[in-house]
């Protein structure tokens, strides 16, 4: 937690009042090293996410091999970044056992803090657990980026959340399933002129409830909080919120304002993104990649 405090001090001023005393909401710290990690020699052969026991009927699919390299780095079990996300997964899984959470909204105070990256990584790592079915919903109907991150833009059948909310498409027909995986994607669909109105319609709650009943986890990527109403509309429909904070960029004032808008009771954790490279990273990479090379040579 001191990492977040220090970042807030460097980015703005003092710590927000919401963080002064320990409260009932667990604060999970995650330092993202993916952006600074060297590309492994076996990048072209990164392991696929393990398949789930049950598949959802979908209109199309996509291949995780087409995802951004940085995502595939996180999905690699031999990276520090991947291990950090697995640590976050274990904490959320514990919260699921204790509090029954299933639907998680991922958002940030302002744009470009890495909320979409965190959403994609978390959903992918959730789906790596055998038998787990995971749904990633791109609810950023203003600047959708999830599809691009997984390389499905232009290759997926037309459709998505915006058409589902208008009643022009069944939600299950809009789902895209990752090959050999329990990960499903509900893309944003065509960008509407009234995103806030669509998200606040009764169809959003009905769609979310219906789909959540078929998955073990539902991760929702939403627009930032401060400039738009979308995240505030979606927050009451979800079991918890992960707030993404970019190190040394997001000020304490913005974080405090975001918490006030969303309500602290809804926040289940804070993700410190784009953190400095961990000193232990070199030993982690050296140990695992050296052992891999030894196995291949034997």
Question: Which two three-digit tokens encode residue 156?
Answer: 């997926």
Whether 236 contacts 200, CB under 8 Å? no
Specify whether the CB–CB gap between 219 and 104 falls below 8 A: yes
Query: Domain range spanning residue 22?
Result: 2-38+51-297
| 259 contacts 265 by C-beta, under 8 angstroms | no
Identify whether 44 is part of a domain. no
Which residues, other chains included, contact 48 with Cβ-Cβ below 8 Å and sequence gap of 6+?
A: 64, 65, 179, 180, 181
pTM beyond 0.85: the answer is no
Per-chain mean pLDDT for the chain? 78
Q: Can you give the pLDDT at residue 10?
A: 56
Max CA-CA distance within the chain?
61
Predicted local confidence at residue 92, as pLDDT: 95
- Inside any domain, residue 266: yes
Tell me what pLDDT residue 198 has.
96
Q: Is residue 45 part of a domain?
A: no
Say which CATH number the domain at 188 has. 3.40.50.300
Tell whether 158 is covered by a domain: yes
The verdict on residue 46 lying in a domain is no
Tell me the per-residue pLDDT of 105-131, one tens digit each, with 9 for 90 and over. Answer: 999 999 999 999 999 999 999 999 999
H-state helical runs in 112-181: 115-127, 146-149, 161-165
Whether 100 is covered by a domain: the verdict is yes
Which pLDDT value is given to residue 61? 82
Query: pLDDT, tens digit, for every residue of 211-252?
Result: 999 999 999 999 999 889 999 999 999 999 999 998 777 788
Tell me how far the alpha carbon of residue 150 is from its chain's centroid: 13
What is residue 209's predicted lDDT score, i.e. its pLDDT?
Answer: 96
Q: Are strands 183-186 and 240-246 parallel, antiparallel or unpaired?
A: unpaired
**pLDDT at residue 245, rounded to an integer:** 92
Any domain includes 78? yes
Tell which residue, 33, 62, 60, has the closest CA to residue 48: 62
Q: What are phi and psi of 245, to 5 degrees?
A: -120, 120
H runs (alpha helix) in 169-240:
195-199, 202-212, 230-234
Give me the number of domains the chain comprises.
1
> Which pLDDT belongs to residue 155?
61
Positions of the chain with pLDDT lower than 50, given as ranges: 1-2, 4-5, 13-58, 278-298
- Is 83 inside a domain boundary? yes
- Bridge partners (DSSP) of residue 270 are 243
């Amino acid at each position: 937690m001191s990492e977040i405090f220090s970042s807030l001090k460097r980015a703005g001023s003092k710590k927000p009042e919401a963080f002064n005393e320990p409260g009932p909401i667990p604060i999970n710290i995650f330092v993202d090293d993916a952006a600074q990690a060297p590309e492994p020699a076996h990048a072209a052969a990164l392991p696929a996410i393990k398949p789930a026991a049950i598949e959802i009927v979908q209109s199309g699919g996509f291949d995780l091999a087409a995802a951004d390299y940085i995502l595939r780095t996180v999905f690699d079990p031999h990276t520090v970044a991947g291990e950090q996300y697995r640590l976050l997964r274990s904490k959320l899984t514990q919260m699921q056992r204790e509090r029954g959470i299933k639907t998680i909204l991922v958002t940030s105070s302002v744009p470009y803090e890495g909320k979409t990256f965190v959403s994609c990584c978390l959903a992918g790592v959730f789906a790596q657990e055998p038998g787990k079915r995971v749904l990633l919903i791109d609810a950023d109907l203003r600047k959708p980026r999830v599809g691009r991150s997984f390389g499905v833009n232009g290759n997926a059948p037309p459709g998505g959340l915006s058409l589902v909310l208008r009643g022009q498409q069944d939600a299950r027909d809009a789902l895209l399933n990752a090959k050999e995986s329990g990960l499903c994607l509900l893309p944003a669909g065509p960008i509407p002129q009234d995103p806030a109105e669509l998200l606040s319609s009764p169809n959003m709650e009905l769609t979310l409830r219906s789909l959540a009943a078929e998955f073990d986890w539902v991760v929702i990527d939403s627009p930032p909080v401060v400039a738009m109403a979308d995240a505030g509309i979606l927050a009451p429909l979800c079991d918890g919120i992960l707030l993404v904070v970019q190190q040394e960029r997001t000020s304490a004032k913005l974080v405090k304002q975001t918490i006030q808008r969303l309500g602290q009771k809804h926040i289940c954790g804070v993700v410190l993104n784009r953190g400095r490279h961990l000193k232990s990273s070199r030993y982690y990479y050296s140990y695992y990649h050296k052992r891999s090379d030894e196995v291949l040579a034997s």
